[in-house]
A = this chain, B = another copy of it.
Amino acid sequence: MKKADYAYIGKNFRRKGSVERVTGANIFAVDMSIPGMLRGGILRSQYAHARIRDIDVSEAVSLPGVYAVVTAKDAPDVRYGRTVTDRYILARNKVFFIGDPVAAVAANSLATVKKALRNIKVEYEPLFVVLDPEEAMKPEAPTLHEDVPPPPNLPEGIKAKNVCSYISLHVEHPDQAMAEADLVVEEIYKTQMVHPHYLEPRTVIAEYDNGGNLTLRTNSQTPFVVRSEVSRLLQLPVSNVRVLVAEVGGGFGGKAAGVASGAGFEPICGLLAMKAKRPVMMVLDKSEETIATSVRGPAKVWIQTGVQKNGTILARKAKLIFDTGGYSGAGELAGGWAARMLVGCYRIPNVHIDGYVVYTNKQVCGPVRGPGGVQAIFPVESHMDSIASRLDMDPVDFRLKNMLRRGDRIPNGVTLRDVSLKETLLTAAEKVGWGKIRLRKNQGIGFASTTWGGELGHGPGAGALVKVNEDGSATVLIGKVDYGSAVNMAIPMIVAEELGIDIDHVKITNVDTDTAPWDFGTVGSLTTVACGGAARLAAIDARNQLLRIAAKQLNVRVRDLAAKGGQIRVKGFADKVMPISIAATAAHFQVGEVIGRGTYDPETISRKEKEKGASPSYATHAALVQVDPDTGRVDVSKYVAVHDVGFAINPCAVEGQIEGGVVQGLGQALCEQILTDDTGRTLNPTFVDYLMPTANITPDIEPVILEGYLGTGPYGAKGIGEIPCVLPPAVIANAIFNATGVRIRTLPLTPENVLRAIREQKRKES
């Protein structure tokens, strides 16, 4: 079917609730209230590393208005963690960073909660604090998690301490190839710790009923993971835990709670509700979010590449030291992905990469949008320009020469079916005016390209149910939360298209783990791909059920029928129609209801990819910047983001994802960073000191959508959620290099850092 033939798909529809979102009319979790609801709060460690000798809650318990005080002793002796289970919901013996939860209180007012928290006496034995992962790996460093064994795959010879997980990638003969190279370029890059800083605070309301059911109203991105973790940590059957999610004001992985970034938030609130026998609401304030919840972990990358004179890359060696903070969190995931992404989107025949995910006494690494992406792509794509410069090659030409193409195999063994990298790069070069516009002094253009998803697999399965109502409208159940990505619009577009009904007659309901099909959560750029695909199949299933009912009634064959405009029509007979409402109502007197089911099945997709090849997402960004050599200020004048999205189901939502991702990436490039002092205390926990990208640094962004290289999503759509925020740091750094000849290898590119680098360069040159 041609794009123009679709009624909804491929056209622009504004996300439902957008106006309410920006006018503040939405009801978020924090606006909710339940009769008899208490407020809860957490006592957090003021030490970055300490042993807990004793906790005395007696005074807090006896305060009027206090309903429950809980410590580790009140919780089951169960630890959590993605693969390395190293954490209790409330610290049991030791604390590992400033902000680590130690106790919690439920009381009749927030003031009483705070008073009670102040009255809990914790006796700590302070321990040596390690903030730098390289220091943490040294033999003389203290062992943070004494009871966590070293990674089983860590080679015998490596004596590094505090390694949480280890990743090694070895392809062919990197040492030999490196030795044969005409030029070997070696650099060290550093990315900083940033917070995902969604605007809506993390909130949960826990309610425990007489039947032993715990209901959690929360703004999580991963309600089913919350359910599963709460069930395990509080020792309740999964069927007794219900997680409800309504509006969510951004998440960016920071609200992908349960697995890694939970910091035990929902389980602690659940524990309080169970003990208090009253509903408890817990809201984190901004500084608490910053110090205590999950962050994008900082990383240090040593990268070395051997090339031939003609620009052909022969070998890559790299070492990644990834700081996961006080607990494993999502460090193993993000660090692992970062390590694998250090090959970039290039054909590199010989590779050796070592990745170390290391514990320190800092905030815990979470699955922040594009986990591992910035930590790998900032080094890789900066490094590409460095090599091109050393080879005296045009960076676009150097990339084109080495880029992955059709038929290439990526390290996970999958062959690529279509590769649009070249097209994204050429389009970006054309749009930004590379080689065409005359650059003024201190003006420069930078590029960065990447792929996303092909290397990372297809995530777990997902499902959708489409219920067709008696008036021909439909209600759709999926397990993914729309926290801003407009999946709540993509799904109705798909369902309306396939059922042949009005888009305003499709309702997508809020996620309730009791009723929605299981889903891993809104993560991994998979929302439209997985749930959109499942919803499409569910709608087709429902349509077929309706057609069968109509075929019986109209006495025709099912294949002679089509659903369009709310009607089931006999093809070729304009007057032979049956309203969908009639067919849907007829079902009431048979099976009750037309319910279509569709699933997203990663196992099947992987098998097909093995047979026919994979087609992941690709993108190239380009920016034109102006550097002020006297202040170090970098102005981004133009920003082009070219994305191969396979098929844009809702183009304006795709553009929104690109623009939002670019702004977030520019934040990491230009201004955002969490700063700590040498005791591990965060120096800038609020927006007063933590600089977020705002309108005054946001350039004119031109999102360019490439279609045609079809992906695994519905109608050939590919994921777009994460990739846009991964590229900007490298793009800007390359543009600064192009403008000034100064290579900056440490993020963020603040005026101070840029100015320092320019002065350093001048000093060297003079």
- Asked whether any CB of chain B lies closer than 8 Å to the CB of A158, the reply is no
Most central of A479, A507, A604 by chain B CB within 10 Å:
A507
- Asked whether any CB of chain B lies closer than 8 Å to the CB of A108, the reply is no
- Asked whether any CB of chain B lies closer than 8 Å to the CB of A602, the reply is yes
Q: Are B473 and A534 in contact (CB under 8 A)?
A: no
- Asked whether any CB of chain B lies closer than 8 Å to the CB of A102, the reply is no
Which of B25, B27, B461 interacts with A593 by CB under 8 Å?
B461
Interface positions of A from 581 to 633, Cβ below 8 Å from B: 587-593, 595, 597, 599-604
A21: min CB distance to chain B, Å: 10
Q: How many copies does the complex hold?
A: 2
A368: min CB distance to chain B, Å: 23
Which of B515, B519, B595 interacts with A509 by CB under 8 Å?
B515
Interface positions of A from 10 to 62, Cβ below 8 Å from B: 16-17, 19-20, 25-27, 31-35
- Asked whether any CB of chain B lies closer than 8 Å to the CB of A157, the reply is no
Contacts of A231 in B (CB 8 A): 471
Contacts of A27 in B (CB 8 A): 35, 209
Contacts of A26 in B (CB 8 A): 210
Query: 0/1 per residue, A508-544, Cβ < 8 Å to B?
Result: 0100101111111000000000000010000000000
A554: min CB distance to chain B, Å: 18
A172: min CB distance to chain B, Å: 31
- Asked whether any CB of chain B lies closer than 8 Å to the CB of A697, the reply is no
Contacts of A474 in B (CB 8 A): 239
Determine, out of A161-169, A183-191, A380-388, A462-470, the stretch whose residues face the partner at the interface. A462-470
Contacts of A602 in B (CB 8 A): 589-590
Q: Are A588 and B213 in contact (CB under 8 A)?
A: no
- Asked whether any CB of chain B lies closer than 8 Å to the CB of A565, the reply is no
- Asked whether any CB of chain B lies closer than 8 Å to the CB of A237, the reply is yes
- Asked whether any CB of chain B lies closer than 8 Å to the CB of A238, the reply is yes
Q: Are B589 and A211 in contact (CB under 8 A)?
A: no
Contacts of A589 in B (CB 8 A): 460-461, 602-603
Which of B210, B506, B520, B592 interacts with A25 by CB under 8 Å?
B210
- Asked whether any CB of chain B lies closer than 8 Å to the CB of A475, the reply is yes
Interface positions of A from 216 to 234, Cβ below 8 Å from B: 228, 231
Q: Please measure, in the bound complex, the distance between the C-alpha atom of A27 and the C-alpha atom of B213, giving whole angstroms.
A: 13
Query: 0/1 per residue, A190-224, Cβ < 8 Å to B?
Result: 00000000000000000001110100000000000
- Asked whether any CB of chain B lies closer than 8 Å to the CB of A477, the reply is yes
Query: 0/1 per residue, A455-490, Cβ < 8 Å to B?
Result: 000001111010101110111010100000000000
A246: min CB distance to chain B, Å: 10
Q: Are A20 and B213 in contact (CB under 8 A)?
A: no
Q: Are B239 and A469 in contact (CB under 8 A)?
A: yes
Indicate whether A463 sits within 8 Å of B507 (C-beta atoms), given known contacts A211-B17, A469-B238: no
Indicate whether A17 sits within 8 Å of B473 (C-beta atoms), given known contacts A35-B31, A592-B462, A603-B590: no
Q: Are A507 and B592 in contact (CB under 8 A)?
A: no
Contacts of A477 in B (CB 8 A): 514-515
Q: Are A237 and B473 in contact (CB under 8 A)?
A: yes
Closest B residue, CB atoms, query A471: B238
A220: min CB distance to chain B, Å: 17
Q: Please measure, in the bound complex, the distance between the C-alpha atom of A88 and the C-alpha atom of B507, giving whole angstroms.
A: 28
Contacts of A470 in B (CB 8 A): 228, 238, 518
- Asked whether any CB of chain B lies closer than 8 Å to the CB of A504, the reply is yes
Contacts of A25 in B (CB 8 A): 210
- Asked whether any CB of chain B lies closer than 8 Å to the CB of A240, the reply is yes
Query: 0/1 per residue, A336-373, Cβ < 8 Å to B?
Result: 00000000000000000000000000000000000000
- Asked whether any CB of chain B lies closer than 8 Å to the CB of A114, the reply is no
Closest B residue, CB atoms, query A594: B518
Q: Are A515 and B517 in contact (CB under 8 A)?
A: no
Q: Are B19 and A210 in contact (CB under 8 A)?
A: yes
Most central of A34, A469, A470, A504 by chain B CB within 10 Å:
A469
Contacts of A590 in B (CB 8 A): 461, 599, 601-604
Taking residues whose C-beta sits less than 8 angstroms from the other chain, chain A's interface range is 35 or more
Which of B20, B213, B505 interacts with A239 by CB under 8 Å?
B505
Which of B211, B238, B591, B600 interacts with A473 by CB under 8 Å?
B238
Q: Are B592 and A463 in contact (CB under 8 A)?
A: yes
A440: min CB distance to chain B, Å: 48
Contacts of A17 in B (CB 8 A): 210-211
Indicate whether A239 sits within 8 Å of B475 (C-beta atoms), given known contacts A20-B210, A507-B514, A590-B461: yes
Most central of A19, A239, A518 by chain B CB within 10 Å:
A239
Q: Please measure, in the bound complex, the distance between the C-alpha atom of A603 and the C-alpha atom of B599, giving whole angstroms.
A: 29
Closest B residue, CB atoms, query A478: B592
Contacts of A237 in B (CB 8 A): 469, 471, 473, 504-505, 507
A429: min CB distance to chain B, Å: 40
Which of B239, B512, B591 interacts with A599 by CB under 8 Å?
B591
Contacts of A588 in B (CB 8 A): 460-461, 518, 520
Most central of A467, A592, A604 by chain B CB within 10 Å:
A592
Q: Please measure, in the bound complex, the distance between the C-alpha atom of A34 and the C-alpha atom of B479, giving whole angstroms.
A: 25
Q: Please measure, in the bound complex, the distance between the C-alpha atom of A33 and the C-alpha atom of B35, giving whole angstroms.
A: 6
A121: min CB distance to chain B, Å: 35
Q: Please measure, in the bound complex, the distance between the C-alpha atom of A213 and the C-alpha atom of B460, giving whole angstroms.
A: 32
Contacts of A515 in B (CB 8 A): 475, 477, 509, 512, 514-516
Contacts of A463 in B (CB 8 A): 591-593, 595
Closest B residue, CB atoms, query A598: B591
A509: min CB distance to chain B, Å: 4
A-B contact pairs, 17 of them (CB 8 A): A20-B211, A32-B35, A238-B469, A239-B474, A240-B473, A242-B509, A460-B588, A461-B593, A463-B592, A465-B465, A469-B518, A477-B515, A509-B514, A517-B595, A590-B601, A592-B600, A592-B601
10 A-B pairs with least C-beta separation: A515-B515, A518-B593, A461-B592, A239-B473, A239-B507, A591-B599, A238-B469, A463-B592, A509-B514, A237-B473
- A26-B210, A239-B506, A463-B591 given; 16 more Cβ-contact pairs under 8 Å: A32-B35, A231-B471, A237-B504, A237-B507, A238-B470, A461-B587, A461-B589, A461-B591, A463-B593, A477-B514, A507-B514, A509-B514, A512-B515, A515-B516, A590-B603, A592-B600
